[in-house]
Amino acid sequence: MSPIPKFLLTFFAICACCGQSSAAPASAQGFGAAGKPHPGGASNAGPARTSPNFVVIFIDDMGYGDIEPFGSKINKTPNLSRMAAEGRTMTSFYVASPVCTPSRAALMTGCYPQRVGLEKGSGHIVLFPGDHHGLHPDEITIAETLKTAGYATGCFGKWHLGDQPQFLPTSQGFDTYFGIPYSNDMWPGLKRFQCPDLPVVRDTKVVDIVKDMDDQATLCRRFTEAAANFIREHKEQPFFVYLPHAFVHGPRQASPEFMAEGKTVEQAQVEEVDWSVGEMLNTIREEGLAENTLVLFTSDNGPAGGLSAGPLRGRKGSGYEGGHREPTVVWWPGAIPAGSTCDELATAMDLHPTFAKMAGKPMPTDRVIDGLDIAPLLLGKADAKTPHDRFFYQQGGKLAAVRSGNWKLFMNGELYNLKRDLAEKNNIAASNPEVVSKLQTMLDEFQADIAENSRPVGLADNPRTLAPRPGIEGDEGYLPTLSLPQNK
């Protein structure tokens, strides 16, 4: 058995001093903690620290059934299989929205997207190039919290929380950024809209343009290499790496070696994502950081076309399980029990408060935070249970359903027991009126709470795109996409 990392000894001591409670202060709790609305193998050891490094690998549009640890018989994902064998699969891990922008807002802030004004974009379900909406600069992100604890913070990949200067990662707590500011289909090839060229941004400057599908195919590798280099450069201090891949969002093309091996482009992209995971874990091992680094792999929402939700009903954009429940693997040798599984409900919103506590930093108490500490679940603590007694689903930018225990009630009155009916095939509302009534009250309470305790979306004056539309000169080339007529 691996020795207990020094950080864990400190973490357990903190928990003991705090009476084992991981809930947020009552004045800042969202729904979940008490069932009521708030009132207000490792390699050589690296540098000894009292807090771990964090790496979050966030895939775009990957489904619950797309990787081998979650049952895929099509895609070969040996690195994720090894990660699961050395770590822990989270089989009831949820994102707060089934589409890009709201899901990412929830991950960064620890809040339901409605609470921060990003349940949808300004004129579409997600943000578009030059959108005047974005993540409000007053919101506190995971990166900002960890920076106060001395962490180096880097974001490498698709951001999609606003492309105006005050919304970009370097204005939201990240020391550095390399990636694309929104979805990879928001380029001139998206025929319905008049999109600009797709920019590659370093910090706040456009340094390249994704010109064609061959360029699209390089994005996974480029983001992976940038993230790995960041780890090497900052191995002597704690770091937070956020790697939100553009893969496997369409349009799709993978690197030539993966295209040659895959029977479909979807398989090729999933397998290149698996390569990326291997590169990240190998970098951590080679630098002697494995026993001091927590890595979490998941997806931003359910599968788009050509990908698989496995046993789940629904896909990207859906309030059913397939839209929100994600294939999630967490790895930390010596801290997380190898080859273990957790089926307790956990969410991407929980990562902010969980990482904050592990880093020894409090969450803000001047605002509502919906996420809760899930360290006992991640670390495999005996008899650990979810801190949530309810979880809310979205569809079309609106509240769609609530889960409490094994029960799930939709706004339209459908009721399912997820333990007995994971595929949500049998609506049993008629035979369970008391359950319907109880969960309907939760839905009503959530709507009332959001109405009273939401915060404004970020607004930018005179927004413009980061790159121009091809062939359009002057300021006109930088007009926001949604301000222009749609193509017929």
Residue by residue, DSSP assigns 81-137 as HHHHHHSEEEEEEE-S-SSHHHHHHHHHHSS-GGGGT-SS-SSSSS--TT-SEE--T
Q: What angle do CA 451, 455, 461 make, to 5 degrees?
A: 125
**Three-state DSSP string of 292-341:** HEEEEEEECCCCCCCCCCCCCCCCCCCCCHHHHEEEEEEECCCCCCCCEE
Interatomic CA distance for residues 224 and 221, integer angstroms: 5
The conformation of residue 29, written as its DSSP 8-state character, comes to B
Q: What angle do CA 207, 213, 219 make, to 5 degrees?
A: 50
Backbone angles phi, psi at 12, to 5 degrees: -65, -35
Question: In DSSP terms, which residues pair with 297 in a beta bridge?
Answer: 57, 329
Verify whether residue 15 is a known catalytic residue: no
- Helix or strand holding residue 260 (H, E): helix 256-261
Interatomic CA distance for residues 144 and 151, integer angstroms: 9
Which portions of the chain are predicted below pLDDT 70? Answer: 1-50
Burial class of residue 148, CB neighbours in 10 A (0-12, 13-18, 19+): middle
Side chain identity at 17, as an amino acid letter? C
Interatomic CA distance for residues 411 and 399, integer angstroms: 8
Instruction: Give the pLDDT confidence score for residue 488 in this predicted structure.
Output: 81
Instruction: Give the pLDDT confidence score for residue 98 in this predicted structure.
Output: 98
- Helix or strand holding residue 274 (H, E): helix 265-286
Question: Active-site residue among 38, 132, 133, 160?
Answer: 160
pLDDT 10s digits, 143-159: 999 999 999 999 999 99
Verify whether residue 124 is a known catalytic residue: no
Interatomic CA distance for residues 123 and 100, integer angstroms: 15
Examine residue 248 and say whether the peptide bond preceding it is cis (omega within 30 degrees of 0).
yes
Question: Active-site residue among 100, 155, 195, 220?
Answer: 100
3-class SS of residue 39: coil
Q: Which domains does the chain have, with CATH numbers?
A: 48-378 (3.40.720.10), 395-453 (3.30.1120.10)
Interatomic CA distance for residues 67 and 309, integer angstroms: 10
